[in-house]
Chains A and B, each alone.
Chain A
Amino acid sequence: MMSFLTELWSQEFMRRALLGGALIGFTNGMLGSFIILRRMSLMADALSHSMLPGLALGIIFFGLNPSGLFLGGLSAAALVAVGAAVLARGSRLKEDTTLAILYTFAFSVGIIILSVNPQQVDLKHYLFGDVLGMDNADLWTSYGVALVVIPAMVLFLRPLLLTIFDSAVARSQGVPVERCQFLIILACVLSMVSSARALGVILMLGLLVTPAAIMNLLTDNFNRMMWGGGIIGVLASVAGLVLSYRFDRVPSGAMIVLVLFVSFLVTWLFSPRYGLLARLRKTRHFHEESLQRWGQRTEPPH
């Protein structure tokens, strides 16, 4: 075991992947709490898919340079987000509808660009990611995103918390709700762009949402949910990478999401407070209590 881990650490590409994976895992896992409590999971999904044409164009114009990918992904997601809002405001359609229309359009543009592109890049790498192919520049991108996103969330935690708890009341209390929502979306897009290389546009949502969902089943404290989500993101990324190295035909992004799902399932079943077993036990307890009382009542008075 020890020798396996030493061997793992001795490989430069693996060290890079582990560091990058841990950073991406923390940023996404921490941000997930805001996303799921604000019920923005589907919006995040739409934005993640929207990045594909941007990433494709980034590749064509800048080669494999990560700043090109970063700019491409960011601007594609931003265009779709803004476009959906504009289309919804100019008609009776709701924003989730216009978002669905635009993101599938963007995704299809991405597929078309990648298939007619003369440089022949493997579509699979964009859809499902390739953690082991991360280079130093990718690592710097994830450092940069973590350094912006994590402090921003901590600094504005109070207005953000009031916004996601009840935006109407928050507005009545003078919280700049629109700006807070914008900050959450921006942080979400940044974190997803930083995980695009490692997980791909389809799988990245798993790392964003699942750690927070696991913590939501474990705690009633928002701070614990937020930081715990970050820690679960790190652990799952590292475990997924190690497993994918061990079974070397399995892509690492898929392995990370698999680890997350297994952790989620275990929590869903066994969480002491909100797990399925705890729920079943609680129901039985009340039932017994009522039986006891009912039994006492029917006893003849002494």
Chain B
Amino acid sequence: MSHAHSHALKIADLTVSYARIPALHHVAFEVRCGMCVALLGPNGAGKTTLLKTLAGLVQRESGSIHFHGREVRGATPDIAYLPQRGQIDWDFPTTVRGLVEMGRYLRLGWWRSYGEADARAVDAAIATMGLESLQDRQISALSGGQQQRGFLARALAQEAHVLLLDEPFTGLDKPNQDNLKATLRRLRDQGKLLLVSHHDLPSVPEIFDQVIMLNGELIAAGPTAETFTPENIHRAYDTRVFAAVDHGVAV
């Protein structure tokens, strides 16, 4: 566990633009495995952009990303991006188990055959997410919370260290939200680094031990108790850093 905690994700001078309009400007912070980190900020602050950049989906203009001392360029199985639920075709012909098995493909490459060890990793991931009794169900026959746990299980099967979640609490009812909170805590305790974009401010202290506050640029980053202050919240939400936000550029 202590070993896992030593894995650091270091972002330095990160700038990302869409059509030459900066969405993120010179962002720098460092987080470690074993942390549950909230990404906060108003719409257009660059939360999704930051997640997509870390996932290798968006080109960065400048800056560097290092994980565990190694430069991250493009995609790596160490980092798993969990899609927003709306972008998935839930009628896709696959079961929960089939979904989790997809996580192994990245470790196996395109041709190495799926073996006993892979089946065990899939079993373990399904068990950690409490999906044993649902594993043969087609993925649309699950509740929103269960679907999310299915994707988390896929990231576990992938043996990712860093999990990027885009607004995972949106659209969940109270019991499922509580369940997801417990799940995130459990994953953190297992030494995963969770980066979660979030918009419900009152629930932040209860779920996250670190916050990163954005508004086009980095407003503040650090432990929730010290960083999640009224002053910082005001700075993140009540000021406009870039004209791009006013022009309605999707971020």
Contacting pair B75 A174 (CB below 8 A): yes
Contacting pair B89 A165 (CB below 8 A): yes
Name the CB-closest residue of B to A220. Answer: B138
User: B221 at interface (Cβ–Cβ under 8 A)?
Assistant: no
Contacting pair A219 B93 (CB below 8 A): yes
What are 19 A-B interface contacts by the 8 Å CB criterion?
A: A158-B108, A161-B102, A166-B89, A168-B81, A169-B81, A169-B83, A172-B52, A172-B79, A172-B80, A173-B106, A174-B76, A175-B75, A219-B93, A220-B93, A220-B98, A220-B138, A221-B94, A221-B98, A222-B94
Complex Cα distance, B101 from A221, in Å, reads: 12
Instruction: Give residues in B with beta carbon < 8 Å to A.
Output: 52, 55-57, 74-77, 79-83, 87-89, 92-95, 98, 102, 105-106, 108, 110-111, 138, 158
Residues of B within 8 A of A216 (CB): 93
State the 10 A-B residue pairs at the shortest beta-carbon distance, nearest first. A174-B75, A172-B55, A172-B81, A220-B138, A158-B105, A220-B93, A222-B93, A225-B93, A169-B83, A172-B57
Complex Cα distance, B76 from A175, in Å, reads: 10
Additional A-B contact list (8), CB under 8 Å, known A158-B110, A159-B110, A220-B138: A37-B93, A166-B87, A168-B81, A171-B57, A172-B57, A173-B77, A221-B93, A221-B94
User: A162 at interface (Cβ–Cβ under 8 A)?
Assistant: yes
Grouping DSSP codes into helix (H, G, I), strand (E, B) and loop, the B interface class, with mixed when no group exceeds half, is loop
**Residue from A162, A220, A221, A225 in contact with B102 in the complex, judged by beta carbons closer than 8 Å:** A162
How many residues from A make CB contacts under 8 Å with B? Answer: 22
Complex Cα distance, B165 from A48, in Å, reads: 41
User: A262 at interface (Cβ–Cβ under 8 A)?
Assistant: no
Contacting pair B94 A165 (CB below 8 A): yes
Name the CB-closest residue of A to B83. Answer: A169
Residues facing B in A121-157 (CB within 8 A) are 155-156
Grouping DSSP codes into helix (H, G, I), strand (E, B) and loop, the A interface class, with mixed when no group exceeds half, is helix
Contacting pair B77 A174 (CB below 8 A): yes
Complex Cα distance, B83 from A37, in Å, reads: 18
Residues of A within 8 A of B77 (CB): 173-174
In the complex, what's the smallest C-beta–C-beta distance from A211 to chain B, in angstroms? 14
In the complex, what's the smallest C-beta–C-beta distance from A164 to chain B, in angstroms? 8
Residues of A within 8 A of B56 (CB): 171-172, 174
Residues of A within 8 A of B108 (CB): 158
In the complex, what's the smallest C-beta–C-beta distance from A147 to chain B, in angstroms? 19
Contacting pair B106 A174 (CB below 8 A): yes
Residues of A within 8 A of B81 (CB): 168-169, 172-173
Residues of B within 8 A of A175 (CB): 75
Residues facing B in A5-64 (CB within 8 A) are 37
Name the CB-closest residue of A to B88. Answer: A166
Residues of B within 8 A of A169 (CB): 81-83
**Residue from A37, A162, A219 in contact with B105 in the complex, judged by beta carbons closer than 8 Å:** A162
Complex Cα distance, B108 from A171, in Å, reads: 17
Residues of A within 8 A of B55 (CB): 172
Residues of A within 8 A of B74 (CB): 174
Residues of A within 8 A of B158 (CB): 173
In the complex, what's the smallest C-beta–C-beta distance from A160 to chain B, in angstroms? 10
Chain A CB count within 10 A is highest, among B80, B83, B105, B108, for B105
Complex Cα distance, B89 from A165, in Å, reads: 7
In the complex, what's the smallest C-beta–C-beta distance from A54 to chain B, in angstroms? 33
Chain A CB count within 10 A is highest, among B76, B93, B106, for B93
Residues facing B in A96-140 (CB within 8 A) are none
